[in-house]
A = this chain, B = another copy of it.
Amino acid sequence: MTQPLRIGIAGLGTVGVGVVNLLTENRDLVAARAGRPIDIVAVNAKSRSKDRGADLSAYRWQDDAGEMAAANDIDVVVELIGGADGPAVSLARKTLAGGKGLVTANKAMVAHHGAELAELAEAHGLPLKYEAAVAGGIPVIKALGGGAAANEISSLFGILNGTSNYILSAMESNGAPFAHVLKAAQDLGYAETDPSFDIDGIDAAHKLAILASLAFGTQIAFDQVETRGIREIEAVDIERAAALGYRVRLVGEARLQDSRLLQRVHPVLVPLSHPLAKVTGSLNAVVADGNFVGRLTFEGAGAGAGPTASAVVADIIDIARGEQQPVFGVPAASLRAVSAGDHDAGTGRSYLRAAVADEPGVMADLTAILRDCGVSIESLIQHGQAADGGVFIAMITHETQHRCTAEAARKMTELKAVLSPPMRMDLLD
């Protein structure tokens, strides 16, 4: 075990350079914990000449990442190219087919091609590891796959996208509208120029689908994740939620419903006392409920060069130690196929907020709709003006069938005095 583990790194963005820096700066410590040195043999990226702020001259430059998969002097390929398809998945397939281990931070690729890649890895007896794909530096893949492995997990919640949480936290602390905060986050580099993966919940849905497979022993079903982002959240929602004792968070949630698996990424109202309410800024957190362990909460940095590199190198250390287990906790071939759960078949409390014309009879019309749909009101605030001269009415319902609340919101939209479709969010109880 004193032979070095030789790695090739494909992709030299923030994370790739972070991995190079970690393996350089913590070299002795990593070797001691891995039981042998980790040697970077080759690196690859699109442009060789770009200044990345790191000295890469000691490593072989590989113009074609695919050559790493065939190189005799590489044991493990670290895929940090990104993207669900294209060069990343092509490299992943070549790497495993070529008899090498694979470490990846690529949530989109694992969410879309995880099953195929896992079967390939297991057929060849090769490690495929993806700790960095979910929740950045938080070792939640290892925690669910190992530390909590003795438990049947009943539900899983997480704040899985730091950009969205940063935006919601900023809206909370300064009362600014979504668009202003997004712009500021983009200027600071906390949000991408095209922010849709983050703020529309797709990134969180990739991560949720991976976590759910591991936690429930089910096949990854990314296309079954009901996904809704935070674009439609207005400053008034954050403010009304706070007045009612809640914070708005973009939460990924997965739970078994008998033989179905409900997976959702959606903005919810979280009570101030809930662990996820305390997660602010760009942090991530994952909460899992196990039948023996009870509730476990893991919190830390969900992105960034250092935290993501920490997760990538933790995987490399596992491989160097010779640890090997099925990619998703149980052999890929034995993962159960499940059909999508039905959120609206469940019950719960909801937040409903409508902007309405400030005229007589509106409240009577709204409350009649609620009555007719069988939805009763726990608390209600009418206070302040909407931008277009209307007023906002925000309420929390009692526990009701979700389909009834949905129906009420739909009927409200038909009222002439209701200026735009009501905003509806679940309460996380």
Contacts and interface: CB of A to CB of B under 8 A. Distances in A.
B149 A314 contact: yes
Given A297-B299, A325-B321, A310 B150 contact: yes
A288 to B, nearest CB: 9
Nearest to A316: B150
A176 interface: no
Contact of A301 (B293, B314, B323): B293
Contact of A300 (B131, B294, B301, B334): B294
Given A146-B139, A292-B26, A217 B32 contact: yes
B300 A293 contact: yes
A159 to B, nearest CB: 13
Interface string A303-324: 0101101110110111001111
A318 B143 CA distance: 12
Contact of A22 (B131, B146, B292, B316): B292
A365 B192 CA distance: 60
A296 interface: yes
Interface residues of A, number: 58
A287 to B, nearest CB: 9
A124 interface: no
A142 B325 CA distance: 15
A292 B306 contact: yes
Interface in A1-60: 18, 22, 25-26, 29-30, 32-35
Interface in A311-369: 311, 313-314, 316-318, 321-326, 329-330, 334
B296 A146 contact: no
A290 interface: yes
A301 to B, nearest CB: 5
Contacts of A314: 146-150
Nearest to A305: B292
A32 B329 CA distance: 8
Interface of A: 18, 22, 25-26, 29-30, 32-35, 131, 137-139, 142-143, 146-152, 217, 275, 278, 290-301, 304, 306-307, 309-311, 313-314, 316-318, 321-326, 329-330, 334
Nearest 7 CB-CB pairings of A with B: A139-B147, A150-B313, A293-B310, A137-B293, A292-B306, A297-B299, A296-B300
